[in-house]
Structure 1
Amino acid sequence: MRKIIVTEFTTLDGVVEAPGGNETPHPHGGWQFKFNHPETGKYKVDELASVDALLLGRTTYENFAAYWPTQTGAGFADPINRMPKYVVSGSLQKADWNNSHILRDITKDVPALKKSDGGDILVYGSATLVKGLLHHDLVDELRLMVFPVSIGGGLRIFDDHRELKKFELKYSRTINNGVIILEYQPIN
């Protein structure tokens, strides 16, 4: 069975919103760029190379589809443009980015995708989708790149639903710029 791997940039206070700067109008958008490091870049390229498909929420899909189709490069742009992309959305009418497919029902379509042929599936950002995946126990691995910054509020993948979710640490690494990479596996 294919694994769903969620990967997130997050602040110390758990915010995943606007790490790149223009995804939302958050007043502190772009917070992750202050911590660029070759090791974090290599980790992200290796992470993408280890999967066969992307699973995205509508907003992340629309942001990616507006940017990536015009980019080229063997490490990131070419693979992300080539691989299958699945977007979970009840409102998206069409998905024109190369090799994109719309999934309508998280509880039916995502489990079916996990049972389909192919390699693992990576979820970038997509906080609302990730909340749903976590709620329905559809996440097989959670990868967090924790940045040493607090931005005082914003969208988080864990909020006030008061659900108990347990995780086992698989891997951790500290980069000398203060970023910590954590890989967890849910314990069901």
Structure 2
Amino acid sequence: MGKIVISSNSTLDGVVQDPDGEEGFARGGWFHRFVGADDLQAWVARETEELRGVEALLFGRRSSGWFETRMLSRDDAETRVSPEWATGVKSLPKYIVSSTLDRSRWSNATILNGDAAKEISELKRTMDGEILVYGSYQLVCTLIDHGLADELRLVVFPVVLGTGLRLFDETSQRPLRLVDIRKIGRSLAFHTYEFQRS
């Protein structure tokens, strides 16, 4: 049985919108603006390590497009992250949940265009390792609401934006259990939670 892991970056007040400032959100760009190079280097090391235990990536349509634009249109040096992490993301099998997409620029992608909860349940049943979800906040709501998410890994950045899309804006109430918390670099906090079954 596969394990669905949501991996996200967030501000202290839970905003996940436009971390790199390329989406036009007035308060975007917080990912690079409010932490130092040591923090970002430690973040990249954690992300790279995380990918080593992953069997596949699961995206919504918009997040898949976001990664395609940044990773397939640029070489690894231009992604502003480690080449090892970028290579890992590119090489992993990808599953994209979309009712409108018929193909992807990823050569190793499968489009899930039926009932999302049913298809993801089947994906979990047929895999043994971790299925990692980056971004994909509408999909995250679906995963949580249908009890399909198993773990949340959250890196919290030391900034308050006051407004913006939050990770759990549209989800139903779900209990989580804190598994681990640790510091990354000088100012980032990394939290790991397990979703509790009702």
Preserved contact between residue 19 and residue 30 of structure 1 (Cα < 8 Å): yes
**Matched AA of 2:10:** T
**Matched AA of 2:87:** D
Q: Which runs of 5+ in 1 are unaligned?
A: none
Distance 2:94 2:150 in 1: 18
Distance 1:94 1:160 in 2: 28
**Matched AA of 1:64:** F
Which residue of structure 2 lines up, in the alignment, with residue 133 of structure 1?
143
Aligned length in residues:
186
1:18-57 aligned at under 5 Å gives the runs 18-22=18-22, 24-34=23-33, 35=35, 36=37, 37=39, 38-57=41-60
- For residues 5-36 of structure 1, give each alpha carbon's deviation from its aligned partner in whole angstroms, at most 9, with x where no partner exists: 001101111111111221x2211211011324
TM-score by structure 1 length?
A: 0.92
Distance 1:160 1:130 in 2: 9
Preserved contact between residue 19 and residue 32 of structure 1 (Cα < 8 Å): yes
SS in 2 for 1:144: strand
SS in 1 for 2:173: coil
SS in 2 for 1:52: strand
Distance 1:74 1:40 in 2: 14
SS in 1 for 2:84: coil
Distance 2:135 2:27 in 1: 17
Distance 2:121 2:108 in 1: 20
Which residue of structure 2 lines up, in the alignment, with residue 5 of structure 1?
5
Runs of 4+ that moved beyond 6 A: none
1:117 CA drift (Å)? 3.2
SS in 2 for 1:170: strand
SS in 2 for 1:158: coil
Which residue of structure 2 lines up, in the alignment, with residue 142 of structure 1?
152
TM-score by structure 2 length?
A: 0.88
Preserved contact between residue 59 and residue 95 of structure 2 (Cα < 8 Å): yes
1:79 to 83, 88, 92: 88
- For residues 90-110 of structure 1, give each alpha carbon's deviation from its aligned partner in whole angstroms, at most 9, with x where no partner exists: 111211212011112221110
1:160 CA drift (Å)? 5.4
Which residue of structure 2 lines up, in the alignment, with residue 178 of structure 1?
187
1:175 CA drift (Å)? 3.0
**Matched AA of 1:85:** K
CA RMSD in angstroms comes to 1.6
- For residues 131-185 of structure 1, give each alpha carbon's deviation from its aligned partner in whole angstroms, at most 9, with x where no partner exists: 1111111101001101111112111121255x32111111111235321100000
Q: Which runs of 5+ in 2 are unaligned?
A: 77-81
1:68-107 aligned at under 5 Å gives the runs 68-69=71-72, 70-72=74-76, 75-104=84-113, 105-107=115-117
Distance 1:74 1:177 in 2: 23
Preserved contact between residue 81 and residue 98 of structure 1 (Cα < 8 Å): no
